[in-house]
Structure formats: C-alpha cells, structure tokens
C-alpha cells in the first residue's frame, strides 16, 4: 500500500465574529457620551461567552452592534473574516436574519398562535406543499432541540415562562443561525427554570453555534466557556 505524502491540511478557521477597537458614542442633546470604548471581542464557532456588567455598562449596546442593529463610530467588525463594518443596511438586514438568532428577556410570542406556529413565523419559505412540509419538519426539529416538541400545539397562555422562553429559543434556532445573541434570557424566570434555559442555550454550541449571553447572573455566566465583564464601556 502506498502512503500519501501529502501533509495534513491545518484548517485555520476564521472567528465567527470579531470586533476590533469598537467605540460607540451617543450624541444626544447634551455632551456626547462614550458608551463603548475600544472594545475587542472575538467568538469562535462553538464558543460561549458571557457578558457581565452593571446596569448601564454598555452590554445591550454591544449586543445591538453585534446583531447589526446599530453601528459603531470607530473600530472594525468582521464576520467569518469578512469586514462588515460599513455594510449597507439592506445587506446588514439580510446577514442579520441569515446568521443571527436573537433571544430576549421578553419572549415576544404571538398569543393567538400555537408554539409551532410561533416558531414557523421565523421561516419565510415559499408557499408550496413541499415547502410547507419542509417548514413543518424544521419547526418540529427546533422544538425537539429545546425539548418541547410535545407542546407544539399549545398556545403561549397555556405554557409556563420557561416553556415560552424555549419556544422563543426554538424560533431563534429554526433558521439554523451561526450565532445566538441572548440579552438577559433568564431575567423573567425563576432560578430553576433559568438554569434549564441556560442549558438549552449552551446545547446549541455543541452543534457549532456561537453564543453570547448578556446576564446579571454570575452562576449562569460561569457556565459559559468565557466570562467577560464590561465596566464603563470597556472590558476588564
């Protein structure tokens, strides 16, 4: 048997996302206020990062920049190694829905729809029969991923807070995002339910998803691969 002389290729994977020297200044009526100052931040596939910080330290602002809801005044933003700092809004919106899944403290579920229908709202496939069938399959897979497939037909009013948050996570997952941005996802939940939701979020990283969790809860933060603390717009 001949042995291949080829060297094994070393795959150097670009970070999922990378911020270099990000600064955000709020220019209201009074003096301009620097909210983020020279922030560097990197997330690789499968990594989970907690962002801690006092109220007003800039956590949500950072998440808005990461999710392309807002733009920095200085610095660079790379997604999969591509510079997206100055991407036009239409392309930013397309990237946002293709790459990111968002989870918030509030669940934002539509009360008159079932859990499955709420998750399906995130899909914008064609209307054909097969597309519908595929859509249903994707929805059920997302609900299974968060452990509530048996509640597919339940409406939010019949679900507990933790179950509702899991529907919201399934809604974020159904498009198979590469990065989940979660802003205080356990803020409205009791400790036990919050722990469950954190586990569900962490599970997504096992399939290569990146996870950024903004939280006030140090126990939840410690479960992430990395913990970073924002203080006055800077990481310590």
> Does 164 help bind ligand ATP (rule: CB under 6 A)?
no
Q: Could you tell me the smallest distance in angstroms from the CB atom of residue 24 to ligand ATP?
A: 9
CA distance 43 to 178: 11
> Does 145 help bind ligand ATP (rule: CB under 6 A)?
no
Binding segment toward ligand ATP, per CB under 6 A, in 48-56, 97-105, 116-124, 199-207: 48-56
| Binding positions for ligand ATP, 8-27, rule CB under 6 A | 26
CA distance 194 to 200: 10
Total residues contacting ligand ATP (rule CB under 6 A)?
11
CA distance 222 to 206: 17
Decide: 236 and 58 in contact? Cβ < 8 Å: no
The binding track of 85-124 with respect to ligand ATP, each residue x by CB under 6 A or -, is ----------------------------------------
Return the residue of 13, 14, 21, 56 that touches ligand ATP, per CB under 6 A.
Answer: 56
> Does 7 help bind ligand ATP (rule: CB under 6 A)?
no
CA distance 118 to 156: 9
> Does 53 help bind ligand ATP (rule: CB under 6 A)?
yes
Q: State the DSSP H helix or E strand holding residue 101, giving kind and residue range, or none if neither.
A: strand 100-104
Helix, strand and coil in the chain, % to nearest 5? 35, 25, 40
Choose between 33 and 153: whose C-beta lies nearer to ligand ATP. 33
Decide: 173 and 182 in contact? Cβ < 8 Å: no
Return the residue of 48, 57, 138, 164 that touches ligand ATP, per CB under 6 A.
Answer: 57
> Does 32 help bind ligand ATP (rule: CB under 6 A)?
no
Taking each helix axis from N to C end, the angle separating 161-173 and 129-145, rounded to the nearest 10 degrees, works out to 130
Q: Could you tell me the smallest distance in angstroms from the CB atom of residue 160 to ligand ATP?
A: 24
> Does 75 help bind ligand ATP (rule: CB under 6 A)?
no
CA distance 80 to 105: 28
Binding segment toward ligand ATP, per CB under 6 A, in 10-18, 37-45, 53-61, 88-96: 53-61
Going from the C-alpha of 7 to that of each of 24, 25, 118, the distances in angstroms are: 45, 49, 49
> Does 138 help bind ligand ATP (rule: CB under 6 A)?
no
**57, β-bridge pairs:** none
Choose between 47 and 61: whose C-beta lies nearer to ligand ATP. 61
Binding site for ligand ATP (CB under 6 A): 26, 28, 35, 53, 55-61
């Amino acid at each position: 048997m001949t042995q291949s002389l080829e060297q094994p290729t070393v795959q150097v994977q670009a970070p999922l996302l990378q911020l270099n020297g990000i600064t955000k200044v709020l220019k209201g009526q009074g003096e301009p206020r620097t909210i983020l100052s020279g922030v560097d931040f990197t997330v690789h596939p499968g990594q989970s990062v907690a962002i801690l910080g006092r109220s007003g330290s800039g956590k949500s602002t950072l998440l808005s920049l990461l999710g392309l809801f807002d733009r920095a005044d200085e610095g660079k933003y790379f997604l999969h190694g591509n510079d997206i700092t100055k991407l036009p809004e239409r392309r930013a919106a397309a990237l946002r829905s293709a790459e990111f899944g968002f989870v918030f403290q509030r669940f934002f579920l539509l009360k008159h729809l079932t859990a499955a229908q709420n998750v399906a709202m995130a899909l914008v496939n064609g209307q054909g029969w097969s597309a519908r069938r595929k859509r249903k399959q994707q929805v059920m897979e997302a609900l299974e991923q968060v452990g509530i497939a048996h509640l597919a037909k339940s409406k939010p009013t019949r679900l507990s807070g933790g179950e509702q948050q899991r529907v919201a996570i399934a809604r974020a997952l159904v498009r198979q995002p590469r990065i989940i941005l979660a802003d205080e996802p356990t803020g409205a939940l009791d400790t036990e339910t919050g722990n469950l939701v954190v586990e569900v979020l962490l599970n997504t990283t096992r399939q290569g998803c990146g996870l950024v969790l903004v939280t006030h809860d140090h126990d939840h933060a410690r479960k992430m691969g990395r913990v970073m603390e924002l203080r006055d717009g800077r990481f310590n």
